[in-house]
Amino acid sequence: MTARKIEYDTAARLAHVELLETLEQKADPRHAALLVVDMQNDFCASDGLIAKEGLDVSEAQKTAARLPAFIAAARRAGVLVVFIRNQYTTDGNFYLSDAWLEQAARKRHGGYTTLPVCTPGSWQADFYGEVRPEPGDPVVTKHRYSAFHNTDLDTILRAHGIRSIILTGVVTNVCVETTAREGFVRDYYVLLVDDGAAAYLREDHEMTLKNIDRFFGQVTSIAELTTTWTQSR
């Protein structure tokens, strides 16, 4: 018996519920949800906030081109699809704290201060391209990096019996990673889709993949998940 087999057997004995060991088990549509994080014009479009700050949005746009078919595959398999969106800038400033604004003034190039971000009802806040919810999809609105922070995401997932969250969207090393971390500490299995998420620097993307794989979940791909769902039907 290998050391890994002993470790899994011990983990299964200690757990109060059935352990999900394989990708197929974790991605099972009966208890998996696909989270599409922040695929909004401000973060993906050539005229959005990020591009105006001087960052390269090309990887976000490539990811946006891949996601519609992947989301459709998840729907066909019966996976719950949840869209996450940001709202930050509002009249009267409901959401941006002094700490948030100081960080923006120190490190951003106008974002959150002179450049509004994801104002409700604006083009900037709208979903990018073809990556958008269908009628009946849960849409969770957040005001911080984590999709769990002061939102109803956890309630939606628990109500659907979800045990695994599949993370896609932007930006890999900020909102996607923060959501993955909080999901794990809330006891969800985490699957981060390498080619279903994007950062504005490749090294930032790779850094998050390494960190998630080591401490918070499992890194997978669109092809692996699509094949898993197809074979399970």
Active site residues: 38, 142, 175
Rounded Cα gap, residues 121 and 39, in angstroms = 15
CA atoms within 13 A on the CB side of 166: 29
Distances 154 to 6, 137, 219 between C-alpha atoms, Å: 33, 15, 22
Burial 125-146 (b: 16+ CB within 10 A, else e): bebbeebbeeeeebebbbbbbb
